[in-house]
Structure 1
Amino acid sequence: MNLDTPIEYLKGVGQQKAELLKKELGVYTFNDLLQHFPFRYVDRTRFYKIREVSADMPSVQVIGRVLSKEIIGEKQSRRLVAQLKDDTGVLELVWFQGIRWADKLVQPGAVFIVFGKPTEFNGRFSISHPELELYNPSAVKQGNLTLQPVYNSTEKLKQSFLDTKSLQRLQASALEIVGRSIQETIPDYLRSKHRLLNKADAIQQIHFPQNPNSLEAARHRLKFEELFFIQLKLLRNKLLRTGKFRGLLFGQVGEKFNAFYSDKLPFDLTNAQKKVLKEIRQDTQKGIQMNRLLQGDVGSGKTVVALMSMLLAIDNGFQTCMMAPTEILAKQHYASLEKMMGQGFINMALLCGSTPKKERRIIHQALQDGSLNILVGTHALIEDEVQFKNLGLAVIDEQHRFGVEQRAKLWRKNSVPPHVLVMTATPIPRTLAMTLYGDLDISVINELPAGRKPIKTIHLFESQRLRMFGFMRQEIAKGRQVYIVYPLIKESEKLDLLYLEAGIEAISREFPLPQYRISIVHGKLKAADKDFEMQRFVKGETQIMVATTVIEVGVNVPNASVMIIENAERFGLSQLHQLRGRVGRGAEQSYCVLMSGNKLSREARIRLQTMVKTNDGFEISETDLQLRGPGNIEGTQQSGVLDLKLADLAHDQHILQEARDAVIRIFEDDPELNTDKNVLLKEYFLRKTPAISWNKIS
């Protein structure tokens, strides 16, 4: 037997349990089982005195003498209760099942080692269905003084007697059979330099640690390995791209760029914008393909940087495109670019799913003959019939909403891959960016344009709603407009939320016609109705927009100065920050009001406090990562990169940096991994990712 042996051949599994393990846990082989790591450990390394016991302890181990026992109640309420005493107090032991067995075992005067979860009722502590072991004072080792692994299981597995105890036994059996055949993946020189356990010992200690120190050493080794090979793949791809992919040369800053900068730029560029433009300019002069991620908060001026980059491409004889994830956002970008440049400055078109066939034919022809300079659109841009004459730069907005294959289709629109500028208004924590986009060069715009005032954020409870209405009237009286966002369209039986329809009724009563007018927008509206309502608000014909989160992106109304978010405790930090970014787009002071119920969970309270405390999207994203973990941050679930079993990007930043630095040093010395000391790395990398050629970008 070896690591690749099917799991059904492990003693105690068999065909029926094997099918369950495959379906429920993805465990097909011995190796898969050993990669199913414990999610926590029960500490049985010490004994507690009864007076030290508290209800918030996950488990406790004590030694005591049984004082007495009795069976109480009848039928369903029947239970066995025993009194356990040490020199500091008394603890109750309770059995609701297996009463006959427990009654036979537990005899007054006997001394037991007792283990279980303590609970408190009326000031008395008890343990239900404890683990028991007769105390032997002459034994060298008392009890089970170990860190016991606890494994994720499921109801179906438990029904087939595959609970955490059973999984412990299976892990022990697997390790006994194949533990010695676990192959090393990290060369000796690297393990020595970074003080890493060997792989076999790490696997043994992660499942059955001798002590807390050996557990920590095992976890560190396996986390380092996970993050190391992610960085090896990402940085290898970057090395291939910069070394093997020829890039289009933008050799000059020409007429269109200079004319826009001198005559049409609506505001002075911030230092951050200038820095990013300089980085893009340098990238496009190297003769290698640019792949740059541009991060910046809503309203930080990413679009003008993208436009000036596109003008740079146009001045050098190339076409450009900008792809957005939704039609609303694509139209918003098109209108924004047109407003900045003015009509007739550049030949530009919009291509979306709703574009009529006649217009499509005109656009396709203009692309092929080279007369169309900028094409803005949605996924429609990557359709096969969309053929550019010479695409030089592709700008992708909110790129996490596009799959890898969709982005790759843009690459294939030109014989020489175009330069790629990826934009996101979702600030990405540094560790997440290094892991998701480690093969990209990263630019950050961390300044707001001159004249923009930070948005003031306040948190109000339901009992303060009248104060919120009064504030709305004040702002509307100044000529401003207000957003009110709800999380649901219709009432949910599961969630006690203010829902959109009830909200509209309440707002209509407080802000009646003809003095006030309201727009209503939600995802169930037809596209034409949604556009009509949005345009009424954009033109200032309505003062209040009541909406669901469809306005998170794609609405730019500088006159809107108030964003009210109902049931704000139900939104994630990233979404709250995006919604807040809908206001603060003009010169006037803007406000975000977070409305919530009176009862808040700890996490909800932290989210709302964070929003009130800061407007810094990167600080918010770091808090979001701490609260939710990387798998839940918008867009990262589909990446595939974050299939992490042990490493936690919120807490293992130092390990990630250590692993990335190690990979950088390796590639500096041995980019092809051809030296003897790195052969192991190359072999493991190719074995782990067989579909990827070492000489071809993934």
Structure 2
Amino acid sequence: MTELALADSLSDVLGPKPAEKLAGLGVTTVGELLRYTPRRYIRRGLVADHQRPEPGEWLTIVGRITKSDLIQMKSRRGQFLKVKVTDDNEVYEASFFNPKYIRHQLRPGARVMMAGTVKYFREQIQLSHPEWMILPDGDPEIDHVVGSKMLTEMYAIEEEVTREHSGAHPLVAMFDREILPMYPATKEVQTWDILGAVRRVLDHCAPIPDALTDAQRRERGLVSTDEAIRKIHLPDSEDDVKVASHRLKFDEALAIQTVLAQRRLAGRSESAPPCPHVPGGLEDKLRERLPFTLTEGQLAVGEELAEDLALAQPMSRLLQGEVGSGKTLVSLLAMLRVVDNGYQCAILAPTEVLAAQHHRTMRKMLGDLAEGGELTAAEGATRIALLTGSMKTKGRRETLLDVVTGTAGIVIGTHALLEEKVEFFDLGLVVIDEQHRFGVEQRDVLRNKGRDGRIPHFLVMTATPIPRTVAMTAFGDLETSVLRELPRGRQPISTSVVPMGRKNWVDRVWSRANEEIDAGRQVYVVCSRIGDDDSPEPAPEPEEQKGPKTTSVVELYETLVEGPFAHRRVEMLHGRLAPDEKNAVMDAFGRGEVDVLVSTTVIEVGVDVPNATTMVIVDAERFGVSQLHQLRGRVGRGQHAGLCLLMTNSNEISQSMQRLRAVAGSNDGFELARVDLEQRREGDLLGSLQSGVNTSLRFLSLLEDVEVIEDARGLAEDVVSEDITLLHHRPLADLVDGILVPQKIAYLDKS
């Protein structure tokens, strides 16, 4: 076989069938396979870089059986076999039904490999009826394989390939390494499929070109990329894993920072409409009408926006702030400055509920300043338009006309704004609310809606605080402004965790909510799912593995209307209601005509009802830390203190309970964002960079690797400032492709 290049198709290398299986993982070339690195390693007596698997993940383990018991089922006739396996780091429980044959094979002391879907019961990792095989225990002469069908078939295939290749016994060659790599796998593509393919590719792969010079590697104490790739797949020692991970971590940081540096540099050469302050304009008129004084934070951020808007190159700024810190008002003042200069503004919101909320809030703030073209309009007034996908034809046509003629100075909308038929008269500023809901491609659509080749200014807002290293990575092409200070008059929110297993505590939740209603105030109740035709609950497991069923909006609404809130005005809100119904419910709640709103997370951001003081979140463990912080930010927005009750079935010592205790213990969104990041897969936060492609960072930690990120950022700036297209830095261009493909951003092709 000739030497393989990174771009070579796996179909040519491995054959059509194996390549087709790997394509299910998004792996189609030699380079993509070599970048598909192990998730963890098993060493005899140790597990390196161990992470607890996620529920639903396909997991392969190699270990020794410590216990094997037949157990009588409680809910139906029959027995199942419960086996405990340890790899000396973690204990796993595997359950087998109809265990008549395998009970004699899976005995204590046997060394086994098992593969199955992860479940948890009381923090214990469970594998239900996994694939299994007894492994040789230091005996290379084993000639009879015992195991489930999938693994014994794998053995037969691997036997032919391995013996032809080296004459060694396949199980010894594949699994009797000192350190055994374990890959992210599925039922269709097993860890041994991946390992077998990697071994064959590495045997024939040409040395991988390096993005760093010898001097740059020496300065940082890094091995070559080629050496790192080989050691990360087939390490002979833990030190091999360590040095390989260190290099691949830097490569990830460098790839990301290179793309961000390209974006920043490309942005400097673009032109945007300059928007200086216009004395006596709409911005000044709104400032004069405000019944309160802006906070110091709002004034400072306003100045930063004003300086950017005055320039003839596009503003690219991220405004992140605490829930309720007044971001909407700051952005509205910036928009009015743009309108004062004769340009239009667009606000992109992730949901129709939030878009409608923005429309109501801004019309209320502006009053007759937003009644352009009406008899009651103030002098110089503009018009605010709302555009959503569910609008009826006549209203949509009128709105599109207002947008294309420039009659509407501010256009608020959902993804409907991204459609080709939406044309602006002269777009000067785009405000993206809750950026994590949108990808780069959607930003690019709006970039191209400017006039005469000009790029509109961009303001990206999020109420989910972002740690500095994440901002530097996920939003590294944006300047950052932060609003931490809450406006005077914002009320404190007290948060408590309520165990749902204690009926008296649950009863107290509803009586506490009734006390608030008796005092003339309103209540949100939030559930994790809708429930009327949701996917059915999973099939029952053995008695001891059953988990609590989650509560749906539909079920809880009926329970509350018939029980604790029988004499209250209760409404239901969720994503499957017609848009008109959703708006009607929210309007009624806003007017105080509804006591209790039972809802999904459609009220997560932007919804502002000052009279709502209580938030009850059911099955709170189903929500992330930042999402819980967002949700409770809907209360305490008026003159009364807020109360948030987190109802949960979580075990006292579980990780989910730790999350809930963290939320209850702090109202600081930035502190909670760090907690959130520590418990999540960091790559999920790179949606803005990766356009929603499901690729996570494997080595780089956005919390811990500040110095690596800063070093990579500096190196990327130096290279890109001289060679923005990377024409003379081909290995670096290949590195970016290898790590970020297919999300290497069509952005650069458009620039």
**Bin of the TM-score, shorter chain as denominator length:** 0.7 to 0.9
Matched, 1:456 2:494: yes
Match of 2:414 in 1: 378
Distance 1:33-1:307 versus aligned 2 partners, 3 A rule: closer
Residue number in structure 1 paired with 2:335: 310
Q: How far apart, CA to CA, are the structure 2 residues paired with 1:232 and 1:467?
A: 55
Distance 1:224 1:363, change over 3 A: same
* C-alpha distance 209-471 of structure 1, shift in aligned 2 (>3 A): same
SS of equivalent residue, structure 2 residue 281: helix
Residue 301 of structure 2 corresponds to residue 276 of structure 1: yes
Aligned AA (2:30): F
Task: Give the partner amino acid of 2:218.
Answer: S
Contact 2:353-2:603 at 8 Å conserved across structures: no
The answer for the alignment partner of 1:609 in structure 2 is 661
Query: Any residues of structure 2 matched to 1:233-312 within 5 Å, and which?
Result: 233-242=259-268, 244-257=269-282, 259-260=284-285, 262-312=287-337
CA distance in 1, matches of 2:566, 2:734: 73
Counterpart residue number, 1:526: 578
Match in the other structure for 1:174:
201
Q: Which residue of 2 aligns with 1:551?
A: 603
CA shift for structure 1 position 459: 0.7
- Are the equivalent residues in 2 in contact too, given 1:686–1:692 (CA < 8 A)? no
In the alignment, structure 1 residue 414 sits paired with structure 2 residue 451: yes
Shift of the alpha carbon at 1:458? 0.7
Change (3 A) 1:42 1:543: same
Structure whose alpha-carbon radius of gyration is higher: 1
Deviation at 1:273, TM superposition (A): 1.5
One of 83, 87, 111 as aligned partner of 1:58: 87
**How far apart are 1:633 and its partner, in Å?**
5.1
CA distance in 1, matches of 2:553, 2:46: 55
Percent identity at matched positions?
A: 35
Normalised by the size of structure 2, how large is the TM-score?
A: 0.75
2:239 maps to 1:213: yes
- Report if the CA contact (8 A) 2:318-2:459 is conserved: yes
Which residue matches 1:76? Answer: 101
1:46–1:264 CA distance, 2 compared to 1 (3 A): closer
Deviations 1:465-506 (A, max 9, x none): 122123112222221111111223337533612333442343
Change (3 A) 1:175 1:384: closer
Other structure's SS at 2:444 match: helix
**Matches of 2:391 and 2:111, distance apart in 1:** 71
Distance in 1 of aligned mates of 2:382 and 2:113: 79
Alignment match of 1:330 (pick from 327, 332, 355): 355
Confirm or deny: 8 A CA contact 1:272 1:447 kept in the other structure.
yes
Q: How does 1:480-519 map to 2 (within 5 A)?
A: 480-490=521-531, 492-494=536-538, 496-511=549-564, 514=567, 516-519=568-571
Deviation by residue 1:302-340 (Cα, 9 ceiling, x = unmatched): 111111101111222322222223222222111111211
| SS of 2:634 mapped into structure 1 | coil
Distance 1:617 1:692, change over 3 A: closer
Aligned residue runs from structure 1 range 101-116, under 5 A = none
Q: Is the 8 A contact 2:353 2:602 kept in 1?
A: no
Query: 1:28 is matched with which residue?
Result: 28
Q: Distance in 2 between matches of 1:372 and 1:694?
A: 29
Q: What secondary structure is seen at the aligned counterpart in 1 of 2:228?
A: helix
Alignment partners' CA distance in 2, 1:695 and 1:556: 39
In structure 2, the CA distance between the partners of 1:530 and 1:364, relative to structure 1 (3 Å rule), is closer
Which residue of structure 2 aligns with residue 350 of structure 1? 385
The Cα of 1:56 is off from its aligned counterpart by 8.2
Q: CA deviation at 1:684?
A: 5.9
Instruction: Say whether residues 1:649 and 2:702 are aligned partners.
Output: yes
**1:342 counterpart SS class:** helix
The 3 A distance-change label for structure 1 pair 488 and 16 is closer
Counterpart in the other structure of 2:670: 618
Specify every segment of 5 or more residues in structure 2 that has no aligned partner in the other structure, as ranges.
Answer: 48-65, 68-83, 90-98, 115-123, 125-131, 141-174, 369-376, 539-547
SS of residue in 1 equivalent to 2:511: helix
Contact 2:111 2:136 in 1 (8 A): no
Contact 1:519/1:536, CA 8 A, preserved across alignment: no
- The one-letter amino acid of 2:186's match is T
**Equivalent residue, structure 2, for 1:156:** 188
One-letter amino acid of the counterpart of residue 413, structure 1: G
Question: What amino acid is aligned across from residue 434 of structure 2 in structure 1?
Answer: E
Amino acid at match of 2:646: L
Give the partner amino acid of 2:476: G
**TM-score between both structures, scaled by the size of structure 1:** 0.80
Deviation at 1:213, TM superposition (A): 2.1
How far apart, in 2, do the equivalents of 1:192 and 1:631 lie? 28
SS of alignment partner, residue 432 of structure 1: helix
Please state whether the residue corresponding to 2:331 is helix, strand or coil. helix
Q: Aligned residues, how many?
A: 628
Aligned mates of 1:46, 1:689 — CA distance in 2: 34
Partner SS state of residue 375, structure 1: strand
Is this contact kept in 2: 1:367–1:388, CA < 8 A?
yes
Partner of 1:7: 10
Find out whether 1:467 has 2:508 as its counterpart. yes
Change (3 A) 1:591 1:5: same
Which letter does structure 2 place at the counterpart of 1:58?
Answer: D
Distance 1:230 1:94 in 2: 42
Deviation track 1:513-537 (CA, whole Å, cap 9, x = no partner) reads: 55x3222222333333333332222
Deviation, 1:81, is: 9.4
SS of corresponding position for 2:138: strand
**Counterpart code for 1:275:** A
Letter matched to residue 482 of structure 1: V
Structure 2 residue 438 is matched with structure 1 residue 402 = yes
> Could you tell me whether the CA contact under 8 Å between 2:272 and 2:428 is conserved in 1?
no
Are the counterparts in 2 of residues 349 and 363 from structure 1 also a CA contact under 8 Å? Answer: no
Instruction: Say which of 109, 128, 138 aligns to 1:133.
Output: 138
CA-to-partner distance for each residue in 1:525-566, whole Å, 9 max, x for gaps? 333333333222211122211222222235321000000011
Name the SS for the 1:25 alignment partner. coil
Quick one: which amino acid aligns to residue 129 of structure 1?
Answer: I
Equivalent residue letter for 2:138: E
Distance 2:442 2:566 in 1: 47
Of 187, 191, 207, 2:213 maps to 187
Q: Which amino acid aligns with 1:528?
A: D
Q: Distance between the aligned counterparts of 2:537 and 2:510, measured in 1?
A: 27
For 1:503, give the aligned amino acid.
L
Query: Cα offset for 1:641?
Result: 9.0
Amino acid at match of 2:716: V
- Native 8 Å contact 1:205 1:218 kept in 2: yes
How does 1:438-453 map onto structure 2 within 5 Å? 438-453=476-491
Aligned to 1:87: none
Distance in 1 between the 2:418 and 2:396 partners? 13
1:425 aligns with 2:463: yes
The 8 Å contact of residues 629 and 648 in structure 1, kept in 2 or not, is answered as no
Q: Does the Cα contact within 8 Å between 1:80 and 1:96 map onto a contact in 2?
A: no
Structure 1: how far apart are the matches of 2:637 and 2:462? 18
Name the CA distance, whole Å, in 2 between partners of 1:694 and 1:503: 46
